[in-house]
Structure 1
Amino acid sequence: MELNHQDRFLLNKHTLFVIPPGTPHRYGADEVNPWSIYWFHVKGEEVLSFITSFHLSEGPLQIPLDSFLEFTDLFEHCYVLLSNKTYSTLYHIKVAQTTRYLLSSLGLSSIRTKEEERKELYLEKTIHYMHHNLSKSPTLLELANVAGLSVQHFNYLFKQEIGYPPIDYFLRIKMQRAGQLLDLTDQTIKEISHGLGINDPYYFSRLFKKVNGSSPTEYRNRKKG
Protein backbone atom coordinates (compact mmCIF):
# COMPACT_ATOMS: atom_id res chain seq x y z
CA MET A 1 0.00 0.00 0.00
CA GLU A 2 1.36 3.44 -0.98
CA LEU A 3 -0.09 6.83 0.00
CA ASN A 4 0.84 10.23 -1.42
CA HIS A 5 3.44 8.62 -3.69
CA GLN A 6 5.80 8.15 -0.72
CA ASP A 7 4.35 6.49 2.41
CA ARG A 8 4.43 2.72 2.06
CA PHE A 9 2.82 0.08 4.28
CA LEU A 10 3.02 -3.70 4.24
CA LEU A 11 -0.43 -5.10 4.91
CA ASN A 12 -0.88 -8.55 6.38
CA LYS A 13 -4.06 -10.61 6.47
CA HIS A 14 -6.92 -9.42 8.70
CA THR A 15 -5.70 -5.83 8.54
CA LEU A 16 -7.85 -2.69 8.41
CA PHE A 17 -6.50 0.39 6.64
CA VAL A 18 -8.32 3.72 6.37
CA ILE A 19 -7.45 5.91 3.38
CA PRO A 20 -8.29 9.60 3.97
CA PRO A 21 -10.54 11.20 1.32
CA GLY A 22 -8.73 12.78 -1.60
CA THR A 23 -5.46 10.94 -0.86
CA PRO A 24 -3.55 9.56 -3.88
CA HIS A 25 -2.94 5.88 -3.29
CA ARG A 26 -2.23 2.58 -4.92
CA TYR A 27 -1.98 -1.00 -3.74
CA GLY A 28 -1.20 -4.44 -5.01
CA ALA A 29 -1.06 -8.05 -3.90
CA ASP A 30 1.87 -10.44 -3.90
CA GLU A 31 2.11 -12.27 -7.22
CA VAL A 32 2.86 -15.62 -5.61
CA ASN A 33 0.44 -15.43 -2.67
CA PRO A 34 -2.20 -12.83 -3.57
CA TRP A 35 -4.97 -11.68 -1.28
CA SER A 36 -8.49 -10.33 -1.68
CA ILE A 37 -9.79 -7.12 -0.13
CA TYR A 38 -13.08 -5.84 1.26
CA TRP A 39 -13.47 -2.14 0.59
CA PHE A 40 -16.17 0.50 0.95
CA HIS A 41 -16.52 4.29 1.10
CA VAL A 42 -17.99 6.17 4.02
CA LYS A 43 -18.93 9.84 4.06
CA GLY A 44 -20.89 12.22 6.22
CA GLU A 45 -20.51 15.05 8.74
CA GLU A 46 -19.60 12.75 11.64
CA VAL A 47 -17.31 10.31 9.81
CA LEU A 48 -14.02 12.01 10.70
CA SER A 49 -14.78 12.32 14.42
CA PHE A 50 -16.14 8.76 14.46
CA ILE A 51 -13.01 7.29 12.85
CA THR A 52 -10.75 9.34 15.11
CA SER A 53 -12.63 8.32 18.26
CA PHE A 54 -12.08 4.64 17.53
CA HIS A 55 -8.44 5.13 16.40
CA LEU A 56 -9.23 3.68 12.98
CA SER A 57 -6.88 6.00 11.10
CA GLU A 58 -3.71 5.23 13.10
CA GLY A 59 -2.09 3.18 10.37
CA PRO A 60 -2.70 -0.51 9.65
CA LEU A 61 -4.80 -2.10 12.41
CA GLN A 62 -4.50 -5.83 13.04
CA ILE A 63 -7.95 -7.36 13.59
CA PRO A 64 -8.41 -10.47 15.77
CA LEU A 65 -9.79 -13.49 13.93
CA ASP A 66 -13.16 -13.51 15.70
CA SER A 67 -13.72 -9.83 14.84
CA PHE A 68 -12.65 -10.42 11.26
CA LEU A 69 -15.16 -13.23 10.85
CA GLU A 70 -17.91 -10.98 12.19
CA PHE A 71 -16.78 -8.27 9.77
CA THR A 72 -17.01 -10.55 6.73
CA ASP A 73 -20.51 -11.70 7.73
CA LEU A 74 -21.75 -8.12 8.15
CA PHE A 75 -20.04 -6.98 4.97
CA GLU A 76 -21.70 -9.73 2.93
CA HIS A 77 -25.03 -8.90 4.59
CA CYS A 78 -24.74 -5.24 3.58
CA TYR A 79 -23.66 -6.15 0.07
CA VAL A 80 -26.71 -8.38 -0.42
CA LEU A 81 -29.07 -5.70 0.95
CA LEU A 82 -27.71 -3.04 -1.38
CA SER A 83 -27.71 -5.41 -4.35
CA ASN A 84 -31.34 -6.42 -3.86
CA LYS A 85 -32.81 -3.10 -2.72
CA THR A 86 -30.65 -0.48 -4.41
CA TYR A 87 -33.19 2.35 -4.10
CA SER A 88 -34.77 1.51 -0.74
CA THR A 89 -34.20 4.30 1.80
CA LEU A 90 -34.93 1.97 4.70
CA TYR A 91 -32.34 -0.55 3.50
CA HIS A 92 -29.80 2.25 3.11
CA ILE A 93 -30.47 3.30 6.71
CA LYS A 94 -29.98 -0.27 7.89
CA VAL A 95 -26.71 -0.58 5.95
CA ALA A 96 -25.48 2.74 7.37
CA GLN A 97 -26.22 1.61 10.95
CA THR A 98 -24.66 -1.79 10.32
CA THR A 99 -21.53 -0.14 8.94
CA ARG A 100 -21.36 2.12 11.98
CA TYR A 101 -21.56 -0.91 14.25
CA LEU A 102 -19.03 -2.79 12.11
CA LEU A 103 -16.41 -0.03 12.24
CA SER A 104 -16.86 0.62 15.96
CA SER A 105 -16.48 -3.09 16.68
CA LEU A 106 -13.27 -3.24 14.66
CA GLY A 107 -11.94 -0.20 16.48
CA LEU A 108 -12.67 -1.64 19.90
CA SER A 109 -11.19 -5.04 19.04
CA SER A 110 -8.03 -3.33 17.78
CA ILE A 111 -7.77 -1.27 20.96
CA ARG A 112 -8.10 -4.46 23.01
CA THR A 113 -5.34 -6.03 20.95
CA LYS A 114 -3.04 -3.08 21.62
CA GLU A 115 -3.82 -3.26 25.32
CA GLU A 116 -2.90 -6.96 25.35
CA GLU A 117 0.36 -6.18 23.57
CA ARG A 118 1.16 -3.50 26.14
CA LYS A 119 0.39 -5.90 28.98
CA GLU A 120 2.73 -8.50 27.51
CA LEU A 121 5.43 -5.86 27.08
CA TYR A 122 5.15 -4.73 30.72
CA LEU A 123 5.28 -8.31 31.98
CA GLU A 124 8.09 -9.45 29.68
CA LYS A 125 10.17 -6.44 30.70
CA THR A 126 9.68 -7.15 34.40
CA ILE A 127 10.24 -10.92 34.18
CA HIS A 128 13.37 -10.35 32.09
CA TYR A 129 14.63 -8.05 34.84
CA MET A 130 13.87 -10.69 37.47
CA HIS A 131 15.79 -13.44 35.66
CA HIS A 132 18.83 -11.19 35.25
CA ASN A 133 18.82 -9.87 38.83
CA LEU A 134 18.36 -12.98 40.94
CA SER A 135 20.95 -11.81 43.45
CA LYS A 136 18.91 -8.70 44.24
CA SER A 137 15.84 -8.20 46.42
CA PRO A 138 13.93 -5.31 44.83
CA THR A 139 10.86 -3.82 46.42
CA LEU A 140 7.45 -3.78 44.75
CA LEU A 141 8.02 -0.10 43.95
CA GLU A 142 11.30 -0.88 42.20
CA LEU A 143 9.68 -3.60 40.09
CA ALA A 144 6.82 -1.27 39.21
CA ASN A 145 9.37 1.32 38.08
CA VAL A 146 10.97 -1.27 35.80
CA ALA A 147 7.57 -1.82 34.17
CA GLY A 148 6.87 1.91 34.10
CA LEU A 149 3.58 1.54 35.96
CA SER A 150 2.13 2.67 39.26
CA VAL A 151 2.53 0.19 42.11
CA GLN A 152 -1.20 -0.45 42.37
CA HIS A 153 -1.74 -1.00 38.65
CA PHE A 154 1.43 -3.07 38.28
CA ASN A 155 0.54 -5.33 41.20
CA TYR A 156 -3.01 -5.84 39.89
CA LEU A 157 -1.90 -6.47 36.30
CA PHE A 158 0.87 -8.88 37.28
CA LYS A 159 -1.32 -10.94 39.59
CA GLN A 160 -4.15 -11.01 37.05
CA GLU A 161 -1.94 -12.22 34.19
CA ILE A 162 0.61 -14.41 36.00
CA GLY A 163 -1.42 -15.69 38.93
CA TYR A 164 1.01 -14.56 41.64
CA PRO A 165 1.93 -11.17 43.11
CA PRO A 166 5.25 -9.86 41.68
CA ILE A 167 7.39 -10.49 44.77
CA ASP A 168 6.00 -14.01 45.23
CA TYR A 169 6.70 -14.82 41.59
CA PHE A 170 10.23 -13.43 41.87
CA LEU A 171 10.87 -15.69 44.86
CA ARG A 172 9.58 -18.67 42.90
CA ILE A 173 12.03 -17.87 40.11
CA LYS A 174 14.79 -17.76 42.73
CA MET A 175 13.73 -21.14 44.12
CA GLN A 176 13.69 -22.59 40.61
CA ARG A 177 17.24 -21.36 40.13
CA ALA A 178 18.16 -22.76 43.55
CA GLY A 179 16.98 -26.20 42.45
CA GLN A 180 19.20 -25.98 39.36
CA LEU A 181 22.20 -25.02 41.49
CA LEU A 182 21.52 -27.87 43.91
CA ASP A 183 21.42 -30.29 40.97
CA LEU A 184 24.34 -28.98 38.96
CA THR A 185 26.85 -27.54 41.45
CA ASP A 186 28.58 -28.39 44.71
CA GLN A 187 27.72 -25.05 46.31
CA THR A 188 26.53 -25.22 49.87
CA ILE A 189 23.00 -24.25 50.76
CA LYS A 190 24.36 -21.14 52.45
CA GLU A 191 26.31 -20.15 49.31
CA ILE A 192 23.27 -20.67 47.09
CA SER A 193 21.10 -18.69 49.50
CA HIS A 194 23.51 -15.73 49.57
CA GLY A 195 24.00 -15.89 45.80
CA LEU A 196 20.23 -15.45 45.38
CA GLY A 197 20.14 -12.43 47.66
CA ILE A 198 18.71 -14.24 50.70
CA ASN A 199 21.03 -13.72 53.67
CA ASP A 200 19.15 -15.98 56.08
CA PRO A 201 19.73 -19.66 55.12
CA TYR A 202 16.92 -20.80 57.42
CA TYR A 203 14.42 -18.52 55.69
CA PHE A 204 15.78 -19.75 52.37
CA SER A 205 15.21 -23.39 53.41
CA ARG A 206 11.64 -22.69 54.53
CA LEU A 207 10.89 -20.85 51.31
CA PHE A 208 12.44 -23.59 49.19
CA LYS A 209 10.35 -26.25 50.92
CA LYS A 210 7.19 -24.18 50.50
CA VAL A 211 7.77 -23.87 46.76
CA ASN A 212 9.30 -27.26 45.96
CA GLY A 213 7.75 -29.51 48.60
CA SER A 214 11.03 -30.57 50.20
CA SER A 215 13.98 -28.99 51.98
CA PRO A 216 17.11 -28.11 49.98
CA THR A 217 18.97 -31.04 51.56
CA GLU A 218 16.18 -33.50 50.76
CA TYR A 219 15.97 -32.12 47.22
CA ARG A 220 19.71 -32.54 46.64
CA ASN A 221 19.74 -36.09 48.00
CA ARG A 222 16.70 -37.18 46.02
CA LYS A 223 17.45 -39.37 43.03
CA LYS A 224 16.41 -37.74 39.78
CA GLY A 225 16.08 -39.01 36.24
Structure 2
Amino acid sequence: MDKIKKQDGFMSQLLIVLPDHILEAYAAHPLIRPLYITDIGYFPHAQHHYRERPTGSESYIILYCIEGEGWIRLAGQKQQTMQKGALIVIPAHTPHEYASSEDHPWTIYWFHMKGEQVGDYFEGIDEHTSPTPVSVEHSSQIIKLFQDSYNLLQKGYSLDRIIYVSQLAGHLAAFIRFNLQHPHLALNRQKKHDVEESLQYMTEHLDKNVTLQELADQAKLSVPHYTHVFKKTTGYSPIDYYLRLKIQRACQYLDLTEQSMKEISIQLGFQDPYYFSRLFKKIMGKSPSAYRNTRKG
Protein backbone atom coordinates (compact mmCIF):
# COMPACT_ATOMS: atom_id res chain seq x y z
CA MET A 1 0.00 0.00 0.00
CA ASP A 2 1.31 3.47 -0.88
CA LYS A 3 2.14 5.79 1.99
CA ILE A 4 -0.28 8.60 2.67
CA LYS A 5 1.05 11.95 1.42
CA LYS A 6 -0.49 15.31 2.31
CA GLN A 7 0.51 18.80 1.27
CA ASP A 8 -1.71 20.44 3.89
CA GLY A 9 -4.97 19.89 5.74
CA PHE A 10 -3.62 19.37 9.28
CA MET A 11 -5.72 19.96 12.39
CA SER A 12 -5.23 23.50 13.77
CA GLN A 13 -3.00 24.46 10.86
CA LEU A 14 -2.55 28.11 9.89
CA LEU A 15 -2.19 28.91 6.21
CA ILE A 16 -2.28 32.04 4.05
CA VAL A 17 -1.46 32.16 0.34
CA LEU A 18 -1.58 35.71 -0.98
CA PRO A 19 -3.69 35.92 -4.17
CA ASP A 20 -1.79 36.55 -7.41
CA HIS A 21 -3.74 39.71 -8.17
CA ILE A 22 -2.77 41.17 -4.78
CA LEU A 23 0.91 40.43 -5.33
CA GLU A 24 0.79 41.83 -8.85
CA ALA A 25 -0.83 45.02 -7.60
CA TYR A 26 1.59 45.62 -4.72
CA ALA A 27 4.90 43.98 -5.67
CA ALA A 28 6.15 47.06 -7.53
CA HIS A 29 5.70 49.33 -4.48
CA PRO A 30 9.14 50.64 -3.35
CA LEU A 31 8.57 49.42 0.23
CA ILE A 32 7.43 45.96 -0.88
CA ARG A 33 9.54 45.32 -3.98
CA PRO A 34 12.81 44.46 -2.13
CA LEU A 35 11.35 41.56 -0.11
CA TYR A 36 7.88 40.23 0.57
CA ILE A 37 6.03 37.14 1.77
CA THR A 38 3.87 35.24 -0.72
CA ASP A 39 2.83 32.28 1.48
CA ILE A 40 2.98 31.62 5.21
CA GLY A 41 1.97 28.62 7.28
CA TYR A 42 2.10 26.61 10.49
CA PHE A 43 1.55 22.84 10.41
CA PRO A 44 1.31 21.21 13.88
CA HIS A 45 2.01 17.48 14.27
CA ALA A 46 1.86 17.19 10.48
CA GLN A 47 1.66 13.44 10.03
CA HIS A 48 2.03 12.30 6.39
CA HIS A 49 3.16 15.78 5.31
CA TYR A 50 5.06 15.51 2.02
CA ARG A 51 6.00 18.06 -0.62
CA GLU A 52 7.89 17.62 -3.88
CA ARG A 53 8.78 20.33 -6.38
CA PRO A 54 10.84 18.79 -9.22
CA THR A 55 11.69 22.21 -10.68
CA GLY A 56 11.81 24.08 -7.39
CA SER A 57 9.81 27.12 -6.41
CA GLU A 58 9.95 30.69 -7.66
CA SER A 59 10.24 31.74 -4.02
CA TYR A 60 12.86 31.16 -1.35
CA ILE A 61 11.34 28.77 1.20
CA ILE A 62 12.12 28.86 4.91
CA LEU A 63 11.26 25.81 7.01
CA TYR A 64 11.60 25.89 10.80
CA CYS A 65 10.91 22.71 12.81
CA ILE A 66 9.93 23.23 16.46
CA GLU A 67 8.78 19.71 17.33
CA GLY A 68 9.28 16.19 15.98
CA GLU A 69 11.42 15.65 12.91
CA GLY A 70 11.40 15.04 9.18
CA TRP A 71 13.74 15.00 6.22
CA ILE A 72 14.65 17.12 3.21
CA ARG A 73 16.44 16.50 -0.08
CA LEU A 74 17.77 19.26 -2.34
CA ALA A 75 18.57 18.86 -6.03
CA GLY A 76 18.52 15.06 -5.83
CA GLN A 77 21.32 14.96 -3.27
CA LYS A 78 21.53 12.92 -0.07
CA GLN A 79 18.51 13.06 2.21
CA GLN A 80 19.09 15.23 5.31
CA THR A 81 17.33 14.98 8.65
CA MET A 82 15.38 17.98 9.97
CA GLN A 83 15.23 17.73 13.75
CA LYS A 84 13.53 19.82 16.41
CA GLY A 85 15.05 23.30 16.53
CA ALA A 86 16.48 23.18 12.98
CA LEU A 87 15.92 25.74 10.22
CA ILE A 88 16.70 25.56 6.51
CA VAL A 89 16.42 27.99 3.60
CA ILE A 90 15.64 26.40 0.23
CA PRO A 91 16.88 28.64 -2.61
CA ALA A 92 14.49 29.57 -5.40
CA HIS A 93 14.43 27.27 -8.46
CA THR A 94 16.13 24.44 -6.52
CA PRO A 95 14.45 21.03 -6.99
CA HIS A 96 13.50 19.64 -3.61
CA GLU A 97 11.32 17.33 -1.59
CA TYR A 98 10.66 17.09 2.11
CA ALA A 99 8.47 15.10 4.46
CA SER A 100 7.49 14.69 8.07
CA SER A 101 8.62 11.65 10.05
CA GLU A 102 6.01 8.90 10.25
CA ASP A 103 6.89 8.08 13.87
CA HIS A 104 7.60 11.60 15.15
CA PRO A 105 5.70 14.03 12.90
CA TRP A 106 7.15 17.49 12.76
CA THR A 107 5.57 20.78 13.70
CA ILE A 108 6.84 23.46 11.34
CA TYR A 109 6.56 27.14 10.59
CA TRP A 110 7.23 28.04 6.96
CA PHE A 111 7.50 31.11 4.76
CA HIS A 112 7.79 31.73 1.02
CA MET A 113 9.64 34.93 0.11
CA LYS A 114 10.26 36.85 -3.10
CA GLY A 115 11.69 40.23 -3.98
CA GLU A 116 14.59 42.00 -5.64
CA GLN A 117 16.81 41.61 -2.55
CA VAL A 118 15.82 38.15 -1.37
CA GLY A 119 18.95 36.63 -2.96
CA ASP A 120 21.12 39.19 -1.17
CA TYR A 121 19.68 38.26 2.22
CA PHE A 122 20.42 34.58 1.60
CA GLU A 123 23.70 35.04 -0.26
CA GLY A 124 25.80 31.88 -0.35
CA ILE A 125 22.89 29.53 0.24
CA ASP A 126 22.63 26.89 -2.51
CA GLU A 127 21.62 23.27 -3.05
CA HIS A 128 24.36 22.19 -0.63
CA THR A 129 22.83 24.00 2.34
CA SER A 130 22.01 21.99 5.47
CA PRO A 131 19.54 22.41 8.35
CA THR A 132 21.00 24.72 11.01
CA PRO A 133 20.13 24.64 14.74
CA VAL A 134 18.36 27.67 16.19
CA SER A 135 18.90 28.49 19.86
CA VAL A 136 15.95 28.51 22.25
CA GLU A 137 16.09 32.27 22.74
CA HIS A 138 16.15 32.89 18.96
CA SER A 139 13.28 30.48 18.42
CA SER A 140 10.83 32.74 20.24
CA GLN A 141 11.77 35.64 17.97
CA ILE A 142 11.09 33.64 14.79
CA ILE A 143 7.74 32.48 16.13
CA LYS A 144 6.83 36.02 17.17
CA LEU A 145 7.59 37.33 13.67
CA PHE A 146 5.42 34.58 12.20
CA GLN A 147 2.55 35.38 14.55
CA ASP A 148 2.73 39.11 13.85
CA SER A 149 2.80 38.52 10.08
CA TYR A 150 -0.02 35.98 10.14
CA ASN A 151 -2.27 38.07 12.36
CA LEU A 152 -1.83 41.12 10.12
CA LEU A 153 -2.56 39.22 6.92
CA GLN A 154 -5.54 37.44 8.47
CA LYS A 155 -7.25 40.83 8.88
CA GLY A 156 -7.01 41.68 5.20
CA TYR A 157 -4.68 42.46 2.32
CA SER A 158 -4.64 46.25 2.43
CA LEU A 159 -1.56 48.04 1.11
CA ASP A 160 -0.55 49.21 4.58
CA ARG A 161 -0.71 45.68 5.97
CA ILE A 162 1.31 44.26 3.08
CA ILE A 163 3.95 46.98 3.59
CA TYR A 164 4.11 46.19 7.30
CA VAL A 165 4.42 42.46 6.68
CA SER A 166 7.15 43.12 4.09
CA GLN A 167 9.16 44.95 6.74
CA LEU A 168 8.64 42.04 9.14
CA ALA A 169 9.85 39.72 6.36
CA GLY A 170 13.00 41.82 6.03
CA HIS A 171 13.56 41.58 9.78
CA LEU A 172 13.07 37.82 9.64
CA ALA A 173 15.38 37.38 6.65
CA ALA A 174 18.10 39.50 8.27
CA PHE A 175 17.71 37.58 11.51
CA ILE A 176 18.00 34.22 9.73
CA ARG A 177 20.98 35.45 7.70
CA PHE A 178 22.78 36.43 10.90
CA ASN A 179 21.93 33.15 12.60
CA LEU A 180 23.20 31.12 9.62
CA GLN A 181 26.43 33.09 9.35
CA HIS A 182 27.14 33.12 13.10
CA PRO A 183 25.85 29.78 14.41
CA HIS A 184 28.36 29.62 17.25
CA LEU A 185 28.30 33.26 18.33
CA ALA A 186 28.29 33.51 22.12
CA LEU A 187 29.77 35.64 24.85
CA ASN A 188 31.54 32.64 26.24
CA ARG A 189 31.18 28.93 25.47
CA GLN A 190 30.95 27.93 29.10
CA LYS A 191 28.39 30.63 29.83
CA LYS A 192 26.35 29.58 26.82
CA HIS A 193 26.53 25.97 27.97
CA ASP A 194 25.30 27.02 31.42
CA VAL A 195 22.36 28.93 29.95
CA GLU A 196 21.43 26.23 27.40
CA GLU A 197 21.43 23.62 30.16
CA SER A 198 19.29 25.91 32.27
CA LEU A 199 16.82 26.47 29.44
CA GLN A 200 16.53 22.74 28.97
CA TYR A 201 15.91 22.32 32.70
CA MET A 202 13.19 24.97 32.53
CA THR A 203 11.41 23.34 29.58
CA GLU A 204 11.45 19.98 31.38
CA HIS A 205 9.85 21.49 34.50
CA LEU A 206 7.11 23.71 33.10
CA ASP A 207 4.57 21.82 35.20
CA LYS A 208 6.45 22.81 38.38
CA ASN A 209 7.39 26.08 40.04
CA VAL A 210 11.17 26.09 40.13
CA THR A 211 12.90 28.80 42.17
CA LEU A 212 15.79 31.04 41.24
CA GLN A 213 17.96 29.19 43.74
CA GLU A 214 17.13 25.84 42.10
CA LEU A 215 18.07 27.22 38.68
CA ALA A 216 21.33 28.64 39.97
CA ASP A 217 22.17 25.37 41.73
CA GLN A 218 21.42 23.42 38.57
CA ALA A 219 23.82 25.70 36.63
CA LYS A 220 26.40 25.37 39.46
CA LEU A 221 26.61 29.16 39.83
CA SER A 222 25.82 31.62 42.59
CA VAL A 223 22.46 33.35 42.28
CA PRO A 224 23.96 36.79 41.42
CA HIS A 225 26.40 35.33 38.85
CA TYR A 226 23.77 33.08 37.32
CA THR A 227 21.27 35.93 37.05
CA HIS A 228 23.87 38.19 35.39
CA VAL A 229 24.95 35.54 32.85
CA PHE A 230 21.39 34.52 32.04
CA LYS A 231 20.13 38.06 31.50
CA LYS A 232 23.16 39.05 29.43
CA THR A 233 22.62 36.03 27.16
CA THR A 234 18.83 36.09 26.80
CA GLY A 235 17.82 39.64 27.70
CA TYR A 236 15.49 38.39 30.45
CA SER A 237 15.82 37.51 34.10
CA PRO A 238 15.66 33.74 34.75
CA ILE A 239 12.20 33.68 36.34
CA ASP A 240 10.78 36.07 33.74
CA TYR A 241 12.05 33.79 30.97
CA TYR A 242 10.73 30.72 32.79
CA LEU A 243 7.27 32.28 32.99
CA ARG A 244 7.43 33.19 29.30
CA LEU A 245 8.21 29.56 28.46
CA LYS A 246 5.15 28.54 30.46
CA ILE A 247 2.99 30.99 28.52
CA GLN A 248 4.51 29.80 25.21
CA ARG A 249 3.53 26.24 26.16
CA ALA A 250 0.08 27.52 27.15
CA CYS A 251 -0.28 28.93 23.62
CA GLN A 252 0.42 25.48 22.20
CA TYR A 253 -2.24 23.93 24.44
CA LEU A 254 -4.72 26.63 23.40
CA ASP A 255 -3.91 26.02 19.72
CA LEU A 256 -3.87 22.25 19.73
CA THR A 257 -6.24 21.08 22.49
CA GLU A 258 -9.72 21.77 23.81
CA GLN A 259 -8.57 21.97 27.43
CA SER A 260 -10.17 24.64 29.60
CA MET A 261 -8.21 27.64 30.87
CA LYS A 262 -8.27 26.14 34.37
CA GLU A 263 -6.93 22.79 33.14
CA ILE A 264 -4.12 24.47 31.23
CA SER A 265 -3.18 26.70 34.16
CA ILE A 266 -2.99 23.74 36.56
CA GLN A 267 -1.03 21.69 34.01
CA LEU A 268 1.57 24.48 33.94
CA GLY A 269 1.88 24.80 37.70
CA PHE A 270 -0.45 27.78 38.20
CA GLN A 271 -2.81 27.03 41.08
CA ASP A 272 -4.60 30.34 40.60
CA PRO A 273 -6.27 30.51 37.13
CA TYR A 274 -6.82 34.25 37.56
CA TYR A 275 -3.10 34.86 38.04
CA PHE A 276 -2.42 32.69 34.98
CA SER A 277 -4.89 34.74 32.93
CA ARG A 278 -3.37 38.07 34.06
CA LEU A 279 0.16 36.86 33.32
CA PHE A 280 -0.89 35.53 29.90
CA LYS A 281 -2.45 38.88 28.97
CA LYS A 282 0.61 40.78 30.22
CA ILE A 283 2.95 38.71 28.02
CA MET A 284 0.76 38.06 24.97
CA GLY A 285 -1.27 41.27 24.95
CA LYS A 286 -4.61 39.45 25.07
CA SER A 287 -6.46 37.04 27.34
CA PRO A 288 -6.16 33.25 26.84
CA SER A 289 -9.71 33.06 25.49
CA ALA A 290 -9.10 35.93 23.06
CA TYR A 291 -5.86 34.28 21.93
CA ARG A 292 -7.61 30.96 21.32
CA ASN A 293 -10.35 32.62 19.30
CA THR A 294 -7.90 34.67 17.27
CA ARG A 295 -5.58 31.77 16.48
CA LYS A 296 -8.44 29.56 15.34
CA GLY A 297 -10.30 32.31 13.55
Question: Which structure has the highest strand share of the two?
Answer: 2
User: Normalized per residue, which structure has more helix?
Assistant: 1
TM-score by length of 1: 0.48
Considering Cα pairs closer than 8 Å and 6+ residues apart, tell me whether 1 or 2 has the greater RCO: 2
Q: Which has the larger radius of gyration?
A: 1
